[in-house]
């Protein structure tokens, strides 16, 4: 049995296949996912699992050099924005329009759907290198 923190086989597989500058997205239950992007659906109920629970788990294994958030999160979900900033204090954050974020999902290795029910709780993680 896998010993590290990410034990979901699909998430672990996607992370292990990522290289420098590749992207992975995590988001709320309502984010539309392009048909061409793999969707790893973890949502089981309203708020379960939460966006931050899944983000924290993924960050145990994925080296992240930059994140992309919707510009709208600043006004519509400052609580989640603060949690992200607190969790990734040294990581560059780029704010983009939500419509652009939805388009950028076409280039992500996968989208991990959570049970999060708060607005704009979506992130694109850009992979870094460990050397």
List the catalytic residues.
20
Would you say 28 is a known binding-site residue?
yes
Would you say 120 is a known binding-site residue?
yes
Other Cβ atoms within 10 Å of 62 Cβ, number: 20
Would you say 45 is a known binding-site residue?
no
User: Please, are residues 23 and 90 in contact by the beta-carbon 8 Å criterion?
Assistant: no
DSSP secondary structure letter of residue 45: B
Which residues are part of a known binding site for substrate? 28, 98, 120-122
């Amino acid at each position: 049995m896998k010993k590290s923190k990410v034990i979901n086989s699909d998430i672990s597989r996607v992370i292990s296949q990522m290289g420098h500058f590749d992207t992975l997205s995590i988001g709320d239950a309502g984010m539309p996912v392009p048909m061409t992007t793999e969707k790893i659906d973890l949502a089981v109920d309203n708020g379960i699992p939460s966006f931050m629970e899944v983000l924290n788990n993924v960050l145990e294994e994925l080296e992240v050099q930059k994140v992309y958030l919707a510009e709208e999160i600043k006004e519509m979900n400052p609580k989640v924005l603060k949690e992200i900033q607190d969790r990734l204090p040294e990581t560059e954050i780029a704010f983009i329009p939500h419509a652009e974020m939805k388009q950028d999902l076409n280039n992500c290795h996968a989208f991990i759907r959570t049970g999060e029910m708060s607005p704009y709780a979506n992130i694109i993680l850009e992979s870094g290198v460990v050397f």
